[in-house]
Structure 1
């Protein structure tokens, strides 16, 4: 994901990644390893500290610098803090979660000019096209290999938010949880202890959230990507209606 960051944020990412898990290091050591001028590193430290609070890069004339954070935080929090500064990531996320009729509408939502948005998308696509998908400025959507698009957004949401509750609307979370409940009720053999832990359920919810968002936009997987028929899910009428109202799709389109 970091390769999609703007150059200054990618520099922040590299500095943070180097400092994680280390004690004191000197600016000179950091500059030599990352091949970044010492002056630029000092400036970057001030910029990073503006948005990673309560984590902080501490400085000492005697020892150098180090990254500190409370025990309840982890490296994910700091990386996510960097991602949240990125206009590139904001564009990608908005295209994932919402539907925009034109590029002008998205530009207005992001408070940038349409020409600036086009330039940023062109930069983003230089990275994405290598993986078989890209942002189409006419449809204002991600196009290409649908399987890869869904996996990309799955990784994106987990890396930026970790927990789906931080980004998905409550109504959609309830529908997804009901769907998971009905799935395990119909296939109890899959309901092992390893599938009941929070980390697994959070990943499952995230995958379903992305699938619903893509289905709502009319984006479907190829037939060879669909799940084996032995796991075809027959939804209750109540849940089917909720899905139809929320996502405007027929429940036969659901691929688990």
Structure 2
């Protein structure tokens, strides 16, 4: 399920979807009838929900100007709130989000105190967090109630909490009761380990990671050191295990300091963070993963050799790109450590594709064949239980680099414009720049098998209503919607069922 479906109950989710619809419309004024039709709601239901949205916008913005107009209209221009701000406002009314913030911030959280504070019954809490509970169960994380919180691997809990809080706030706020001066000291000290610190949003993500560290550790929820880190971190001077104790205002045992320090460094490697080739942390990671014998580096090198021959025979240098190498190492290292599914923010943002292009299918099958054969190698037994998940992660990383065109059918596009070079010159140039389009002048004698016909007149549609027609004027304003139309048809033509 996507994030909002996990966190919002049906009534809140409906208003969120209506609000997104309002922001996406290009009309300054929208009829409620049109909204009802597009959202598949009855008119009265739309009015009720819009009035609720109106009241919520007033709660967010004191000088909000009303969006509801007479004659069944909505004034879109009066919406000054972003979708992120509105989502966050709704989440603060949603039981799952309330419960998480409650046990993170309260000194002695219990389910009874939570129910009393938010005027809900225990059965209501159980019902409204059910979707989130099922989601977390995939990672062996469970909610606790006697003492409100979560149980499971503390590292996985923090990753899950990060996803939930980040997608709810998108950097707008850090809704945790923590000491910001200590947080600043932590970030300043550890930022150079993190590629995140070099980007605008990454710095905000890093602050949330740090805030979660403080919130959890201050309540004696500690991450343990994992011996699977040894080849990377043990006796490696790059990873400093002594300074954390001087950055916080609470006591930790040597074992706790080691576990928490190691988890900070692990977080720097747990996702394909690398986007800048000159990043010093990328160079350090490639060096450290290759400095000592280990299964992670061996596996990535084995995969790179395979990919050069099978996936990229015409451009094997792709697999020598430091960005590719560093991100493959990070992905593999996380699976090497966990050997089970772990929280993945992309799965809460992108709906699972029902189908994929032929080229994507070819790439995935080749990678899965490699993964299956690798399970037979005793040196790579760490992938046995997760080779399918690892293969999909590799595919997502490499798909933008993979040449899908040999496995795809180009679109057959006809141009039916006035017989004048000045009219047709720009459109032909535009189509020639698209690798997936074969364009020609419309053949009136025989051709009804075009994927799309581009024309400046409606007459062709009247004569042959079954043809796919895209009508244009003589301005460049049509080129963007034309591209989107072409891309949609191309994807549909080349989709294969999973």
Give TM class, smaller chain: 0.7 to 0.9
Name the counterpart of 1:37: 42
**Given the two structures, how large is their TM-score scaled by the length of structure 1?**
0.76
Alignment of 1:90-239 (within 5 A): 90-100=98-108, 102-108=110-116, 110-112=117-119, 116-132=121-137, 133-144=141-152, 146-163=154-171, 166-169=174-177, 171=179, 173-184=180-191, 190=193, 195-215=197-217, 216-220=219-223, 223=226, 228-229=232-233, 230=236, 232-233=239-240, 234-235=242-243, 238-239=246-247
User: How far, CA to CA, are the matches of 1:38 and 1:131 in structure 2?
Assistant: 37
SS in 1 for 2:24: coil
Question: For this pair of structures, how many residues does the alignment match?
Answer: 241
The verdict on how the C-alpha distance between 1:197 and 1:220 changes in structure 2, with shifts beyond 3 A counting, is same
The verdict on how the C-alpha distance between 1:219 and 1:236 changes in structure 2, with shifts beyond 3 A counting, is closer
| Partners of 1:5 and 1:86 within 8 A in 2 | yes
Is 2:20 the counterpart of 1:17? yes
The verdict on how the C-alpha distance between 1:197 and 1:83 changes in structure 2, with shifts beyond 3 A counting, is same
Name the counterpart of 2:259: 253
Report the alpha carbon displacement of residue 9 of structure 1 after superposing the two structures with TM.
0.9
The verdict on how the C-alpha distance between 1:153 and 1:169 changes in structure 2, with shifts beyond 3 A counting, is same
Unaligned residue ranges in structure 2 (runs of 5+)? 265-498
Name the counterpart of 2:97: 89
User: How far, CA to CA, are the matches of 2:229 and 2:32 in structure 1?
Assistant: 52
User: How far, CA to CA, are the matches of 2:42 and 2:198 in structure 1?
Assistant: 48
Report the alpha carbon displacement of residue 208 of structure 1 after superposing the two structures with TM.
1.9
Unaligned residue ranges in structure 1 (runs of 5+)? none
| Partners of 1:175 and 1:239 within 8 A in 2 | yes
The verdict on how the C-alpha distance between 1:9 and 1:165 changes in structure 2, with shifts beyond 3 A counting, is closer
User: How far, CA to CA, are the matches of 1:225 and 1:203 in structure 2?
Assistant: 26
RMSD of the alignment, in Å? Answer: 3.3
Name the counterpart of 2:4: 2
Q: Deviations over 1:225-247 (max 9, x none)?
A: 8694155333165325x2438xx
State which structure, 1 or 2, has the greater radius of gyration over its C-alpha atoms: 2
| Partners of 2:216 and 2:222 within 8 A in 1 | yes
| Partners of 1:147 and 1:225 within 8 A in 2 | no
**Given the two structures, how large is their TM-score scaled by the length of structure 2?**
0.42
User: How far, CA to CA, are the matches of 1:148 and 1:85 in structure 2?
Assistant: 26
Name the counterpart of 1:59: 68
Higher relative contact order (CA 8 A, sep 6+): 1
Q: Deviations over 1:89-116 (max 9, x none)?
A: 21222123335353223333x2425xx0
